[in-house]
């Protein structure tokens, strides 16, 4: 025991020394990490796979334990898990056909079940009737199929007796737990995975937010794994620095892994810190029959928006209990791949910008080329992109035949005739007179800048929470929103411009498109609210031009909604 303690403290001292070196001078393996990060960023598009015995219950992986499925039943599911149609080469072929360059599979999700043959637990695939090591077969298939193999690992573990929290969802507590011993289990398994199936591209951690995991655990695990494989790329969920589902990292915490992880949402434009949006192709992470599947337009525009924001896109499928990826999902992925066959050069190995992504579209760049992906131009006018500090020397329309591009002092005018607008994205290549990545990134307003707002107010704010207050609809950021309490059927949001201004157009983006059923845009004249526009549905891209009014206060007055309305942007324009 004495020896054990000495050993532990020695280890801790070494870890502390390493941590000191890591945080205050040259990061451990900095060059390997940097080049591995750059290689991974160039891949841009990957496949996420959430799978396990729970697929038989068609409920959500990890979270349904102790909720929709009693824990005692959940924990026995592996005894009948027999995915006889599992074919690793087939999965890898689907990823490749989709244009995905890497793959991340759940080695162990929150439910604790191990999809691989582990020496440290019997709750694994070798205890199932299937008895085939999924990770061994998949990593081999990836290597021969030219797709980089990576692993997801849940830090929290509702099943393991040493991990303090239990299902449902961590609300239960285990009687006899031992976090120090559990930490050894994590180290044993994560190193076992590298040794057996590595080298890995990424270590994709998750479930770090619960109390038992500390920043110290995160730092120690990060250093431990980088020592085994210096080229590993580790996500920010190894530590305690993540801002919830937004996935960004708190700046105060030096060791926040190598990149940020927005979940089920598109991350904000960022070139400073690598990031990756993870998102499901349907609603669940695990398979569910007839789960609503995203349209091809949604899938591709999400990919384009992410890449245009300089992020990677990790797109999830949950294979079925028989081992196959659902055929309609395979078909959707192949459709994405066919688009990428044509436009892959504008995606892989590019960086986001210089025109920041939004409802209008997105842009990527490489060497002297800028690729524009236009989703929507104004209905009644050419699209005006802001001015950039470079001269356009050539333009080439990659989808439409005729697109007029005119570089003026106030910006770049793109005239895309209606019949030449592509259903997914009109792609236009600009060649500039310098390295495109060096051009300062600029936000895009299809009609020029909206009128500045001095103050906002609203009839209702979702749970009174600051992150949903009305200013979020006037911050020129489509990622944030004003929200109202669930069950709200009518509501208003007001923009106070500080002084009377000429207003003749508005742009509104509803976050959950389809809730608003009737509305007016009103302005205050004396002590009377008068309408300047009336309408029924809004959707995520409502644009209106009306007879100009001079006023200081404007309201979007929603008179009928199916559910609490929520608005990403409410912008006013003077021309
Ligand atoms: O594996 C998939 C999901 O099962 C898993 N992450 C993806 C990749 C997932 N775990 N939790 N969640 C999804 C949602 C949990 C959200 C919350 Fe929280 C946990 C809310 C409060 C605690 C995350 C951590 C957001 C704030 C803190």
User: For ligand 1, atom 11, which residue shows the shortest CA distance?
Assistant: 207
Residue 260 is predicted with a pLDDT of: 97
Give, for ligand 1, the residue of 158, 209, 242, 280 to mutate: max count of ligand atoms closer than 8 Å to Cβ: 209
pLDDT at residue 1 in the model:
37
Mutate to test the pocket of ligand 1, among 285, 317, 465 (most ligand atoms within 8 A of CB): 285
Cβ 501 vs Cβ 524: under 8 Å: no
How confident is the model at residue 448, as a pLDDT?
Answer: 73
Q: Is it the case that residue 29 has pLDDT exceeding 90?
A: no
**How many C-alpha atoms does 79 have within 13 Å on its Cβ side?**
5
Q: Is residue 7 over pLDDT 50?
A: no
What is the rounded CA–CA span in Å between residue 99 and residue 334?
A: 8
CA distance 311 to 309: 6
**Residue whose CA lies nearest to ligand 1 atom number 24:** 244
Quote the CA–CA distance of 313 and 294 in Å, as a whole number.
15
Question: Which residues have C-beta within 8 Å of that of residue 173, sequence separation ≥ 6?
Answer: 164, 165, 166
| pLDDT band with cut points at 50, 70 and 90 for residue 402 | confident
Q: Which of 485, 465, 483 is nearest to 473 (CA)?
A: 483
383 band by pLDDT with thresholds 50, 70 and 90: confident
Say yes or no to pLDDT of 252 above 70.
Answer: no
Tell me what the pLDDT averaged over the chain comes to: 93
DSSP 286-350: S--TTPPPPPHHHHHHHHHHHHHTT-EEEEEE---TTSPPPHHHHHHHHHHHHHHHHHGGGTTT-
Please list the residues that pair with 385 across neighbouring strands.
Answer: 412
- Calculate mean pLDDT across residues 112-132: 98
Q: For the chain, how long is the longest CA-to-CA vector?
A: 84
Ligand 1 geometric centre to CA of 37 (Å): 24
Tens digit of each residue's pLDDT (9 = 90 or more) over 428-454: 999 999 999 999 999 998 777 899 999
What per-residue confidence (pLDDT) applies to 8? 45
pLDDT of residue 119: 98
Nearest atom in ligand 1 to 154's CA: 1
CB 554 within 8 A of CB 522: yes
Q: Find how far residue 431's CA is from the centre of its chain.
A: 30
- pLDDT tens digits for range 514-541: 999 999 999 999 999 999 999 999 998 8
Q: What is the pLDDT of residue 159?
A: 98
Q: What is the mean pLDDT of residues 266-281?
A: 96
Q: Does the pLDDT of residue 360 top 50, yes or no?
A: yes
> For the CA atoms of 433, 438, 440, 444, what is the dihedral angle to 10 degrees?
70
Convert the pLDDT of each residue in 477-487 to its tens digit. Answer: 888 899 999 99
Domains of the chain with CATH codes: 2-343 (3.20.20.80), 351-438 (2.60.40.1180), 455-573 (2.60.120.260)
289 CA → ligand 1 middle, Å: 22
CB atoms within 10 A of CB 295: 11
Residue recorded with tokens 């070139």:
271
Ligand 1 binding pocket, CB closer than 6 Å: 50, 62, 206, 209, 244-245, 263, 278, 285
Distance from the CA of 208 to the center of ligand 1, in angstroms? 9
pLDDT given for residue 401 in this prediction: 72
**pLDDT at residue 153 is higher than 90:** yes
Closest residue by Cα to residue 93 from 85, 108, 82, 103:
103
Give distance in angstroms: CA of 300 to centre of ligand 1: 25
Instruction: Compute the distance between CA of residue 95 and CA of residue 319 in angstroms, rounded to an integer.
Output: 13
Over residues 186-206, mean pLDDT: 98
Predicted TM-score (pTM) of this structure: 0.87
* Closest listed residue to residue 99, CA positions, set 332, 328, 366: 332
CA of 63: how far to CAs of 59, 71, 115, 322, in Å? 8, 11, 17, 21
């Amino acid at each position: 025991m004495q020896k054990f303690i000495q050993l532990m403290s020695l280890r801790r001292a070494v870890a502390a020394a390493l941590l000191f070196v890591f945080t205050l001078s040259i990061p451990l393996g900095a060059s390997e990490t940097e080049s591995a990060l750059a290689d991974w960023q160039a891949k841009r598009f990957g496949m996420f796979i959430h799978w396990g015995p729970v697929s038989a219950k068609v409920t959500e992986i990890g979270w349904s334990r102790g909720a929709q499925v009693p824990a005692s039943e959940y924990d026995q599911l592996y005894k009948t898990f027999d995915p006889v149609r599992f074919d690793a080469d087939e999965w890898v072929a689907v990823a490749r056909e989709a244009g995905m360059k890497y793959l991340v599979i759940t080695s162990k999700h929150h439910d604790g079940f191990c999809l691989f043959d582990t020496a440290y637990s019997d709750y694994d695939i070798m205890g199932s009737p299937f008895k085939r090591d999924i990770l061994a077969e998949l990593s081999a298939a990836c290597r021969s199929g030219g797709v980089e193999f990576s692993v997801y690992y849940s830090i929290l573990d509702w099943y393991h007796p040493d991990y303090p929290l239990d299902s449902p969802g961590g609300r239960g507590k285990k009687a006899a737990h031992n976090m120090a011993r559990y930490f050894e289990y994590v180290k044993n398994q994560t190193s076992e995975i590298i040794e057996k199936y590595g080298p890995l591209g990424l270590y994709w951690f998750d479930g770090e937010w619960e109390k038992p995991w500390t920043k110290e655990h995160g730092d120690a695990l990060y250093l431990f794994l980088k020592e085994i494989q210096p080229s590993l790329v580790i996500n920010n969920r190894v530590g305690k620095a993540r801002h919830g589902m937004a996935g960004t990292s708190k700046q105060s915490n030096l060791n926040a892994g190598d990149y940020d992880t927005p979940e089920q949402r598109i991350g904000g434009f960022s070139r400073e810190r690598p990031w990756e949006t993870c998102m499901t192709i349907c609603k669940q992470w695990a398979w569910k029959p007839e789960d609503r599947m995203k349209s091809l337009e949604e899938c591709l525009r999400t990919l384009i928006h992410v890449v245009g924001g300089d992020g990677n896109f990790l797109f999830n499928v949950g294979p079925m209990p028989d081992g196959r990826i659902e055929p309609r999902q395979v078909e959707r992925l192949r459709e994405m791949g066919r688009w990428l066959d044509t436009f892959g050069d504008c995606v892989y190995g590019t960086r986001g910008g210089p025109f920041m992504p939004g409802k209008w579209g997105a842009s990527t760049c490489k060497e002297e080329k800028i690729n524009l992906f236009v989703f929507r131009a104004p209905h009644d006018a050419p699209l005006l992109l802001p001015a950039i500090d470079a001269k356009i020397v050539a333009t080439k329309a990659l989808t439409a035949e005729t697109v007029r591009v005119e570089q003026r002092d106030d910006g770049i005018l793109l005239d895309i005739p209606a019949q030449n607008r592509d259903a997914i994205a009109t792609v236009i290549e600009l060649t500039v007179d310098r390295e495109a990545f060096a051009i300062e990134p600029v936000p895009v307003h299809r009609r020029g800048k909206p009128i500045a707002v001095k103050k906002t107010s609203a009839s209702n704010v979702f749970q009174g929470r600051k992150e949903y207050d009305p200013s979020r609809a006037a911050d020129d950021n489509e990622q944030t929103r004003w929200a109202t309490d669930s069950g709200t059927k009518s509501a208003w949001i007001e923009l106070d411009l500080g002084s009377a201004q000429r207003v003749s157009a508005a742009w509104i983006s509803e976050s959950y498109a389809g809730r608003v059923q009737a509305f007016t845009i009103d302005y205050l004249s004396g002590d009377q609210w008068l309408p300047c526009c009336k309408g029924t549905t809004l959707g995520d891209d409502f644009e209106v031009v009306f007879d100009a009014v001079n006023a200081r206060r404007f309201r979007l007055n929603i008179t009928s909604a199916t559910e609490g309305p929520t608005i990403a942007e409410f912008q006013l324009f003077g021309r």
